[in-house]
Amino acid sequence: MAKKPYDRPLIRRHVVGQAPKFGLATSIKVLRDVDGIKVEDLMAQYGSPLFVISEKALRSAHERLARAMGFYFPDVVLAWSYKTNWLRSVCAIFHQEGSWAEVVSEFEYEKARSLGVPGDRIIFNGPYKPREALARAFSEGAQVNLDSLDEMYLAEEVAEELGLRPKVGLRISLAAGAYPIWYRFGFNYESGEAMEAAERITRRGRLVISGLHCHMGTFVLDPWCFTEQSRKLAALTRALEKRLDIELDYLNFGGGFASKNTLVHQYLPGETVSPPFEEYAAALAEGMKALDRKPTGMPRIILETGRALVDEAGYLMTSVVAVKRMPAGLRAVIVDAGVNLLYTAFWYRHEVFPAREVEGDIEEAVIYGPLCMNIDVVRESVMLPTLRPGDPLVIWPVGAYNMTQWLQFIRLRPGVVLITPEGETELIRMPDVMDDLLSREPVSARLGLRGAE
């Protein structure tokens, strides 16, 4: 029989009244499989760390959101937010479900076109759109939402060069109860800047205003904010019609719907406080009453929901590499996935599950990643059993932003596996290899390094 590793005894003081009314944890939930495929089998086949995405969860989330919005609005378009997760297979799944593409750079625009998305099903947002990108977007009929007067002037120049009078949207900033208020984007509603911009565009006559766009914030937990947002956009729509005789084709409410993740400062878990899609849809419909139209007479409604569609579909599988006891007595668990892969760990308390039963006391622990940086903290405090090196863990939900914001910092990025509805696995992103980095870094022969090209 193999000798068990020595673990120094720890005396813990139990104070009467210390436990909350819910009591102390006596068991930890184990996540053995994703969509019927064992976590340990996935890690054995594809390595650790490993991102895993459930295609079934992606399609289910899209269907639920489309159904919730369609209950109130007859003409709804969902546009997949590429910055949230731009893996080609993820984007392709949402496009199969009927989503347009929402992009914020020429790089993302090109990615959408490479997947066969036509220009007239691409929404081009963001504060910086280079001249060449605007020219392509206008030529291909993309829906461009202008962010500033300087961008408006550039768009007019490009349109004149192309001999076009393209339709554009105006991005609007407004106060709707979500904080911080994103004043840096678009034209402000309350100050009258939005109306002034519309008047200027109409007077100059080189562009045609066809819609309004407002993405007011991220992870908005209060649906009432969307009521206020839609009420103000409805009021601006009526003002544009009355003063400038502008009839809008669409109102784009951006994104901001919360996932089931838990913010670091939240007391209750995200699964408890995050509203369902039906509440967000009802909130938007309530504000749209200010437009005073029948549903069939409304402009097209567009949503660019990202996080709420993909977050719960994503899992990060990781292995324990070391365990130590901190001077104050707190157990520290070091795993092979850190904030280089889990960028959202700075803002969310992701759930952490053992992938198999583990014996031993359940106690508070801190989870550190593998980086040689003190900021590499996956969870500052989480209840875990007595883990050993080699034990597999699953971190969830992680589908939003981590696979676009991850870093080639200290360690290479892992592969990403998609689990199909049929229970098959597909490697949808190859893990990085050293050649990926070296091929982008030529070294001059003058430096005298052996093998330099």
Domain boundary among 245, 280, 303: 303
Q: How many domains does the chain have?
A: 2
Question: Is residue 190 a part of any domain in this protein?
Answer: yes
Indicate whether 281 and 135 sit together in one domain.
yes
CA distances (Å), 152 to each of 59, 127, 187, in order? 37, 11, 11
**Does residue 316 sit in the same domain as residue 414?**
yes
What's 203's domain CATH number? 3.20.20.10
Domain that holds residue 211: 126-303
pTM exceeding the 0.85 threshold for the entire prediction: yes
Domain assignment of residue 27, yes or no: no
Q: Are residues 283 and 365 in the same domain?
A: no
How far CA 366 is from CA of 16, 332, 384, in Å, comes to 24, 5, 9
Query: What letter represents residue 216's amino acid?
Result: M
Strand partners, 334: 322, 368
Whether 25 is covered by a domain: the verdict is no
C-alpha distance across the termini of the chain, in Å? 54
> pLDDT in tens for each of the 453 residues of the chain?
677 767 666 666 665 555 555 455 567 899 999 999 999 999 999 999 999 999 999 999 999 999 999 999 999 999 999 999 999 999 999 999 999 999 999 999 999 999 999 999 999 999 999 999 999 999 999 999 999 999 999 999 999 999 999 999 999 999 999 888 889 999 999 999 999 999 999 999 999 999 999 999 999 999 999 999 999 999 999 999 999 999 999 999 999 999 999 999 999 999 999 999 999 999 999 999 999 888 788 999 999 999 999 999 999 999 999 999 999 889 999 999 999 999 999 999 999 999 999 988 899 999 999 999 999 999 999 999 999 999 999 999 999 999 999 999 999 999 999 999 999 999 999 999 999 889 999 888 888 766 555
**Separation of alpha carbons 207 and 118, rounded Å:** 22
375 and 423 fall within a common domain: yes
- Indicate whether 356 and 294 sit together in one domain: no
Does residue 449 lie within any of the structural domains?
no
What pLDDT is attached to residue 294? 85
Domain end: 259, 277, 303, which one? 303
**370 touches 337 (CB < 8 A):** yes
Please name the helix (run of DSSP H) or strand (run of DSSP E) that holds residue 121, with its range, or none.
Answer: none
In this predicted structure, what is the pLDDT of residue 444?
A: 86
CATH of the domain at 374: 2.40.37.10
pLDDT at 23: 56
Does residue 278 sit in the same domain as residue 158? yes
In the numeric block, the tokens 């504060």 are attached to: 127
The pLDDT value given to residue 18: 56
- Grouping H, G, I as helix, E, B as strand and the rest as coil, residue 124 is strand
